[in-house]
């Protein structure tokens, strides 16, 4: 008679727990939270058919998906569509499948029937689709925020406990191996009787670095919305962070997963197992040390090469008023540009594309030379900036453009396609922006009609996201230093693209500000501490963004605005109206029919926060993005804005005492413990 097989206690516990979870989780309709549909609609049958095919594929792949995530695409350009689903990491496959099935049905039938881009959040899962590729890309917009309406009687060390607990969860989730759920849940005691519960998760297609960055950005948003609240949640397209004073995750599943046994080496005797375990651990340690040492040495070598290369560039860019000989600078530039070999474009190709720089192809004249439209052999439209041979500042701009934009990729930054250094020509080739620059529309009484409120709000959000990328999310910390309406280009769909990085400055390490006696930029947009003292920082860009916001709302230039009877600047005029409760009087009269009063007033409020005199009082761009996205956030009260710094354009000053004049609708809600 065979004796019954005995399983280890840990395995029995694990199997029993999974059974309990499966039975305990009901498959009722998932808990709907929010949805987002963009303004781009489709009427083509092909796109709709492709979308239905995609949604069917997502639903069918939720049935046997062990990590609660799947992405797919359907169709060919221009009707291709991309989508994914993403289930919470502590839920069973059945719950995930049920949620995805509801999402694929509800998103088109109830919420976004004609839109090309849509997202829907449930408590159990998230689903999105778009006509643009979005896989393996960290995205934070659009986002959705909820908070517990009850305030917390906060102990003195609560914030420290919250930061530590979220930090632990973020580290665990971000460092999950490839192919695994990037999910972590943990708890901590903050009083004798009460616990803090934290849940974080990223989509599994993100790199560890992007996951870590996404979760930290989400936590930054929680600091703004949910300070002293009993709970809060922020959901991005790529990640989510949730904390509560009650259990906000399936604790049984998390504990069972932690108890799941690891594979044990097989052998005849217990002693031999121990020996092999010790040997394996020792060898692993040795190999790990060797690999780490090799990696550290490689990174050290790479860093030294980067420091040397950057020091050469900075030497060229930041010489205080010193004349640079053309031959010497060209030699440096050619060596630098060769490091971006893939960007080099032959001169004859550019000449053919621009019809030999014909006047018919000329788009305009910039401070550093003319700009021409071109068409490549494959039909791709380009814009070519031809730098003047006599412009020393143009040489610095050329190197800044090549070395910065070549390393920056963001939907709200203009894309550099290539450059050319042949026969004393210095050419920069960009993607072509058919709608020219924002100032062409904004400050023209006829063209301005085309910018209704939703377009202006979209432009404001896009500029904010582009600046946030420069300040915090790119590999480099970059200050633009010349943000203005003429440097915001508009694509076919009037999406904004920040351009002209000739005056931008790179900051390395923990440095965030610098002092210079070469004041470059445009008066009217300059922060006072920069215009008067040469002190530049990310808050200088925030000031310029605030000016630009008020210009977009009013349709008037700050640099040319005045009231004849009072002599006020646009900033002071906006402050006066806002302080008197007449903020809507600042709004462009053309926006009366298309605007939403609460949105306009919120944007004026944020704009005034950005133009405060003390840089410390101005918000960071990450705070600005969160404030723009939220409807019910408590926004700080601004102080009186800085004085206006002139009304003329400054190309460059050679000393501190001399001057040469020359853009998602998201709803925020309260949520109570379930």
CA atoms within 13 A on the CB side of 152: 25
CA atoms of 559 and 576, how far apart (whole Å): 18
- Find how far residue 506's CA is from the centre of its chain: 18
Phi (first) and psi of residue 246, to 5 degrees: -125, 170
Decide: 523 and 543 in contact? Cβ < 8 Å: no
Identify the three-state secondary structure at position 270.
helix
CA atoms of 71 and 275, how far apart (whole Å): 44
Identify the three-state secondary structure at position 378.
coil
What are the start-end ranges of the H helices in 134-183? 158-174
Strands 488-490 and 496-498, how do they pair?
A: antiparallel
DSSP string, 423-478: TT--EEEEE--TT-BHHHHHT-TTGGGG--HHHHHHHHHHHHHHHHIIIIISSSEE
What are the start-end ranges of the H helices in 25-92? 45-61
What are the start-end ranges of the H helices in 524-640? 528-533, 538-554, 570-579, 597-610, 621-629
Q: Tokens 């490689």 appear where?
A: 298
CA atoms of 110 and 213, how far apart (whole Å): 33
Q: Tokens 């490549």 appear where?
A: 376
Provide the 10 A C-beta neighbour count for residue 390.
Answer: 8
Q: What's the count of helices (H) and strands (E) in the chain, helices before strands?
A: 17, 24
CA atoms of 427 and 113, how far apart (whole Å): 46
Per-residue tokens: 362: 């000329």
Active site residue 482: yes
Q: Which of 482, 500, 541, 588 is catalytic?
A: 482
- DSSP assigned state of 301: H
Decide: 628 and 560 in contact? Cβ < 8 Å: no
CA atoms of 296 and 302, how far apart (whole Å): 10
CA atoms of 181 and 189, how far apart (whole Å): 26
Decide: 263 and 219 in contact? Cβ < 8 Å: no
Strands 144-147 and 669-670, how do they pair?
A: parallel
Decide: 644 and 505 in contact? Cβ < 8 Å: no
Q: What residues are labeled active site?
A: 482
């Amino acid at each position: 008679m065979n004796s019954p097989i005995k399983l280890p206690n840990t395995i029995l516990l694990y199997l029993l727990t999974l059974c309990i979870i499966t039975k305990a989780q009901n498959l009722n309709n998932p808990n709907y939270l929010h949805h987002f549909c963009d303004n781009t609609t489709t009427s083509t049958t092909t796109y709709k058919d492709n979308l239905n095919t995609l949604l069917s594929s997502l639903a069918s792949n939720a049935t046997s998906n062990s990590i609660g995530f799947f992405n797919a695409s359907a169709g060919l350009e221009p009707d291709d569509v991309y989508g994914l689903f993403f289930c919470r990491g502590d839920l069973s496959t059945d719950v995930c499948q049920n949620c995805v099935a509801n999402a694929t049905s509800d998103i088109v039938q109830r919420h976004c029937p004609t839109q090309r881009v849509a997202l829907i959040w449930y408590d159990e899962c998230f689903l999105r689709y778009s006509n643009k590729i979005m896989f393996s890309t960290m995205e934070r917009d659009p986002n959705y925020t909820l908070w517990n309406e009850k305030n917390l009687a906060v102990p003195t060390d609560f914030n420290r406990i919250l930061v530590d607990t979220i930090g632990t969860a973020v580290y665990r989730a971000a460092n999950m191996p490839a192919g695994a759920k990037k999910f972590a849940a943990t708890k901590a005691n903050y009083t004798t009787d009460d616990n803090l519960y934290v849940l974080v998760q990223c989509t599994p297609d993100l790199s560890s670095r992007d996951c870590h960055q996404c979760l930290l950005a989400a936590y930054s948003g929680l600091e703004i919305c949910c300070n002293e609240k009993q709970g809060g949640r922020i959901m991005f397209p790529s990640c989510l962070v949730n904390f509560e004073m009650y259990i906000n995750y399936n604790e049984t599943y998390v504990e069972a997963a932690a108890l799941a046994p690891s594979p044990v080496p097989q052998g005849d005797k217990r002693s031999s197992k121990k020996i092999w375990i010790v040997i394996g651990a020792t060898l692993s340690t040795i190999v790990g040390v060797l690999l780490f040492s090799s990696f550290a040495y490689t990174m050290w070598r790479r860093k030294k090469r980067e420091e040397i290369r950057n020091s050469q560039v900075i030497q060229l860019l930041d010489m205080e008023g010193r004349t640079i000989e053309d031959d010497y600078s060209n030699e440096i530039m050619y060596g630098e540009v060769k490091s971006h070999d893939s960007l080099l474009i032959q001169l004859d190709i550019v000449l053919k594309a621009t019809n030999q720089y014909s006047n018919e192809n000329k788009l305009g004249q910039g401070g550093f030379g003319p700009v021409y439209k071109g068409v490549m052999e494959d039909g791709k439209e380009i814009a070519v900036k031809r730098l003047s041979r006599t412009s020393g500042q143009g040489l610095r701009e050329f190197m800044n453009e090549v070395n910065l934009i070549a390393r920056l990729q963001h939907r709200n930054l203009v894309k550099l396609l290539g450059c050319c250094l042949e026969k004393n020509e210095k050419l920069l080739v960009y993607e072509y922006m058919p709608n020219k620059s924002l100032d062409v529309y904004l400050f023209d009484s006829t063209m301005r009609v085309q910018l209704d409120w939703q377009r202006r709000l979209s432009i404001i959000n896009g500029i904010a996201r582009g600046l946030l990328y420069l300040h915090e999310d790119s590999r480099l910390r970059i200050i633009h230093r010349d943000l203005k309406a003429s440097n915001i280009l508009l694509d076919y769909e009037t999406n904004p693209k920040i351009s002209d990085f000739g005056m931008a400055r790179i900051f390395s390490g923990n440095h965030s500000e610098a002092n210079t006696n070469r004041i470059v930029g445009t008066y009217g947009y300059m922060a006072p501490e920069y215009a008067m003292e040469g002190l530049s920082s990310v808050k200088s860009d925030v000031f310029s963004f605030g000016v630009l916001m008020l210009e977009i709302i009013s349709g008037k230039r700050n640099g040319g605005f005045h009231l004849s009877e009072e002599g006020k600047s646009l900033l002071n005029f906006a402050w006066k109206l806002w302080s008197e409760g007449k903020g809507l009087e600042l709004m462009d009269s053309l926006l009366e029919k298309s605007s939403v009063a609460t949105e306009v007033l919120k944007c004026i409020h944020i704009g005034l926060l950005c133009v405060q005199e003390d840089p410390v009082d101005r918000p960071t761009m990450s705070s600005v993005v969160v404030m723009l996205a939220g409807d019910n956030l408590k926004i700080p009260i601004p102080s009186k804005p800085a004085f206006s710094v002139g009304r003329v354009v400054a190309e460059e000053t050679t000393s501190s005492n001399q001057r040469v004049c020359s853009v998602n609708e998201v709803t925020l809600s309260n949520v109570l413990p379930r």
